[in-house]
Amino acid sequence: MGPIGWLLQWPVRALVLLLVSALPLGVEMANIGTALWSAVVIGLLGTVLILPLKLLLGLPWAIASLGGLIAPISWLFNWLITVILFGLAARLINGFTLKNGVSSAVLGAVAYGVISSIVLNLLGLADANFTRAALS
């Protein structure tokens, strides 16, 4: 999709972050500005950290999933990377907080990934994958 597609996704993802913060998941977003910055940071972290995280988790993934033969385990590792990126963004952005720590990161990342995927697909702006981790 390229840079134009990402620019079109950015405000949609920020609105999804606001929606996720309205759900009772323990994710708090101070305002729309915080949501916009958070969407940028999640995207940048995904771009910069996806390869190092996959290298770090590669051996445990290969052992647990028998080299990718067990698809649900591969799916879980992709979600683990998504949760890590979501949690890192919350630590870096003032006004983006996870009230319940890891459980808020897990629930928030899952909600963010699923809702983003649905909305972006409806708008014709998305790839078929639910997570950035699955794209690499």
Residue 79 near residue 131, CB atoms below 8 Å: yes
Confidence (pLDDT) at 135: 46
39-65 residue pLDDT tens: 999 988 888 887 887 788 777 777 777
The stretch 102-130 carries a mean pLDDT of: 84
Q: What single DSSP character describes residue 12?
A: H
The total of structural domains in the chain comes to 1
Residue 100 near residue 9, CB atoms below 8 Å: no
Quote the mean pLDDT of the chain.
Answer: 84
At 3, the pLDDT band (50, 70, 90 cuts) reads low
Confidence (pLDDT) at 111: 94
% of the chain residues with pLDDT over 70: 82
The stretch 87-103 carries a mean pLDDT of: 95
Confidence (pLDDT) at 105: 95
Whether pLDDT at 109 is above 70: yes
Confidence (pLDDT) at 136: 44
The stretch 112-119 carries a mean pLDDT of: 90
Q: Which structural domain range is residue 86 located in?
A: 2-135
Alpha carbon separation from 44 to 74, 88, 112, 117 (Å, rounded):
23, 11, 16, 18
The stretch 81-105 carries a mean pLDDT of: 93
Of 133 and 115, which is predicted with more confidence? 115
Q: Give residues with Cβ within 8 angstroms of 78, minimum separation 6.
A: 131, 133, 134
- Strand boundaries in 4-70, DSSP class E: 27-29
How many Å apart are CA 12 and CA 88, to the nearest integer? 20
